[in-house]
């Protein structure tokens, strides 16, 4: 089975021997609007195995809302669009290993009480099954995480359970959406979960906001680490005397975490982009704010192969304070390399974003169009994000080594290996049964660090082994594809 991969040979040589003088800003490639006749907005996005996109959000109705699921091609052209229910809102989506889609959000009954909602849709968008979880008040799902046992973790909020007015609520399910266990996290105030990820140790990290645990009053940004059973390992807050929020989180290359959101305490305007870097135990290492005189809120952060980050979210600071999407590229320490504002039509802003297998970035949200006066779903794609190189004099590697990041990955990871001596090298991928899947590299190489970008979009989820052999040395490394 053929899998896409790219050897970053030239980039590796540049990393060892040269310095990039200027950062290049990628071009905007296209913007698409989607509408079924009502005002719509997108909150969830994932890349599909055919290099298209799956979008999830909702349309506002006179009687409530209906969940919307849209499948596109690689250039954003719509393949199909589906709506579900008359009082459902979708906040997150992911493609499963069998090519289907999982949609998470909330479902509201006639009494006005909401439940966590999980739906599986077929590859053509038809509902396969639907599940709700909750109590007598209100629950929702803000993030879906695929788990190592083939099930899913739903991260969201509850007002039915827990200690306070609102607590973070974690629901673990099996592959068919059957509930296995739940956890509440919070104290006696209002504590909210907005995003979650699975970590390399098979635990989980979620982020959001808390007033129960705020140090100075107001609301603090909140990050929490859970083990594989949902038990809290640590909880940390970041904030000042006003309001701070985390909307998105990623695991960093050093095993720590980086969370992004917004700050009011230290802002130039109403709110500024705010990111915080922690070590593996949640201890703060550095924070950064970015913004101007308007309202700037970072709703998405993604880790890049070079250790840096791409941030995106709504901004009202530029173009005469008309709302657009601000995209900001940083290095591994949070220092800005470049930024750009994208504002199609009248106003348009992105709430969710994703790194794509071709190296580009797509963000989705909502946009008010001049042509119809409605708010439509909006998606914009920008070109491949250049990886800056900074090293000019670096010692050659002293030992043979093999690793990859991220791990687990979906569907792209970077396999890195070091060559202390020049020689012939092969890099091969095997499945758990020892069957060779593909030879990723077979070439004569000089000594140095090498990076191979591997795309497993056409492979099923599972454990694989990368093996590199050069001269008389060999190394094998386990990689986990988790869709």
For 79-113, what is each residue's pLDDT tens digit? 999 999 989 999 999 999 899 999 999 999 988 89
Q: What pTM was estimated for this model as a whole?
A: 0.78
Tell me what pLDDT residue 139 has.
97
Residue 280 has pLDDT above 60, yes or no: yes
Mean pLDDT, rounded, for 327-333: 94
Q: What does the alpha-carbon distance between residue 271 and residue 293 come to, in Å, rounded to a whole number?
A: 9
Lowest mean pLDDT among 186-190, 214-218, 464-468: 214-218
pLDDT tens-digit readout, 398-424: 788 899 989 998 888 999 888 888 888
Is the pLDDT reported for residue 12 higher than 50?
Answer: no
Instruction: Supply the pLDDT for residue 352.
Output: 95
Distance, in Å, from the CA atom of 254 to the CA atom of 248, rounded to the nearest integer, reads 18
Structure-token pair, residue 55:
């979008």
Coil, strand or helix at 133? strand
Position 453 scores a pLDDT of 85
pLDDT at 5 over 50: no
The answer to whether 119 and 91 have CB atoms below 8 angstroms apart is: no
C-alpha to C-alpha distance for 350 and 312, rounded to whole angstroms: 7
What are the tokens at 26? 């990628």
Instruction: Give the separation between CA 153 and CA 102, rounded to whole angstroms.
Output: 11
Q: Is the pLDDT of residue 390 over 60?
A: no
Residues 441-452 pLDDT 10s: 888 888 888 888
pLDDT, mean of residues 338-353 = 83
Binned at pLDDT 50, 70 and 90, residue 373 comes out as: low
- Residue 445: per-residue pLDDT: 84
Q: Is the pLDDT of residue 78 over 70?
A: yes
Count helices and strands in the chain by DSSP H and E runs: 1, 36
Spatial neighbors of 395 by CB under 8 A, at least 6 apart, are none
**Whole-number pLDDT of residue 420:** 86
Phi, psi of 9 (to 5 degrees): -65, -50
Domains and CATH numbers, the chain: 23-382 (2.130.10.10), 401-481 (2.60.40.2550)
Q: What is the mean pLDDT of the chain?
A: 88
Which stretch of 47-51, 184-188, 352-356, 471-475 has the lowest confidence by average pLDDT? 471-475
Q: Given phi > 0 = left and psi -120 to 50 = alpha, else beta, which region is 134?
A: left
Weakest mean pLDDT among 89-103, 119-133, 254-268, 467-481: 467-481
pLDDT at 364: 94
Per-residue pLDDT of 175-190, as tens digits, reads 999 999 999 999 999 9
Task: Say if residues 61 and 36 touch (Cβ distance below 8 Å).
Answer: no
- The mean per-residue pLDDT over the stretch 224-251 comes to 96
Lowest mean pLDDT among 71-80, 233-242, 273-282, 411-420: 411-420
């Amino acid at each position: 089975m053929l899998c896409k991969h790219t050897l970053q040979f030239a980039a590796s040589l540049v990393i060892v021997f040269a310095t990039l003088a200027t950062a290049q800003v990628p071009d905007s490639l296209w913007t698409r609007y989607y509408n079924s006749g009502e005002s719509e907005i997108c909150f969830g996005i994932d890349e599909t195995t055919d290099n298209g996109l799956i979008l999830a959000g909702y349309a506002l109705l006179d009687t409530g809302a209906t969940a919307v699921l849209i499948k596109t091609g690689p250039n954003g052209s719509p393949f199909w669009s589906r709506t579900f229910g008359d009082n459902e809102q979708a906040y997150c989506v992911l493609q499963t290993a069998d090519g289907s889609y999982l949609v998470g959000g909330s479902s509201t009954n006639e009494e006005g009480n909401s439940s966590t909602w999980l739906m599986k849709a077929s590859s053509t968008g038809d509902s396969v099954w639907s599940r709700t979880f909750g109590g007598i008040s209100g629950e929702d799902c803000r993030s879906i995480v695929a788990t190592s046992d083939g099930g899913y973790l739903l991260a969201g909020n509850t007002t039915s359970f827990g200690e306070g007015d609102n607590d973070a609520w974690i629901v673990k399910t099996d592959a068919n959406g059957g509930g296995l266990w739940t956890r509440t996290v919070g104290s006696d105030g209002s504590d909210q979960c907005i995003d979650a990820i699975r970590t390399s140790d098979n635990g989980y990290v979620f982020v959001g906001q808390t007033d129960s645990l705020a140090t100075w009053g107001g609301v603090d940004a909140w990050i929490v680490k859970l083990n594989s059973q949902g038990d809290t390992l640590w909880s940390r807050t970041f904030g000042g005397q006003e309001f701070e929020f985390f909307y998105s989180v990623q695991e960093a290359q050093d095993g720590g975490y980086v969370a992004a959101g917004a700050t009011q305490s230290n802002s130039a305007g109403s709110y500024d982009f705010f990111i915080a870097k922690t070590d593996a135990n949640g201890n703060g290492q550095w924070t950064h704010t970015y913004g101007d005189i308007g309202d700037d809120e970072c709703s998405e952060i993604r880790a890049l192969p070079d250790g840096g980050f791409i941030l995106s979210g709504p901004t009202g600071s530029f173009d005469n304070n008309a709302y657009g999407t601000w995209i900001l590229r940083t290095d591994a320490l949070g220092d800005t390399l470049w930024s750009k504002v994208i504002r199609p039509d009248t106003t348009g802003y992105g709430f969710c974003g994703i790194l794509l297998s071709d190296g580009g970035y797509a963000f989705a949200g909502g946009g008010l169009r001049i042509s119809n006066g409605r708010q439509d779903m909006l998606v914009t794609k920008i070109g491949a994000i250049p990886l800056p190189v900074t090293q000019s004099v670096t010692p050659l590697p002293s030992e043979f080594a093999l690793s990859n990041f991220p791990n687990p990955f979906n569907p792209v990871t970077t396999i890195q290996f070091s060559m202390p001596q020049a020689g012939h090298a092969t890099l091969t991928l095997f499945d758990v049964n020892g069957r060779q899947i593909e030879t990723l590299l077979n070439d004569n190489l000089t000594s140095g660090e090498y990076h191979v970008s591997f795309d497993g979009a056409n492979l099923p989820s599972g454990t694989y082994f990368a093996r590199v052999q050069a001269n008389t040395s060999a190394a094998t490394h386990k990689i986990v594809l988790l869709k």
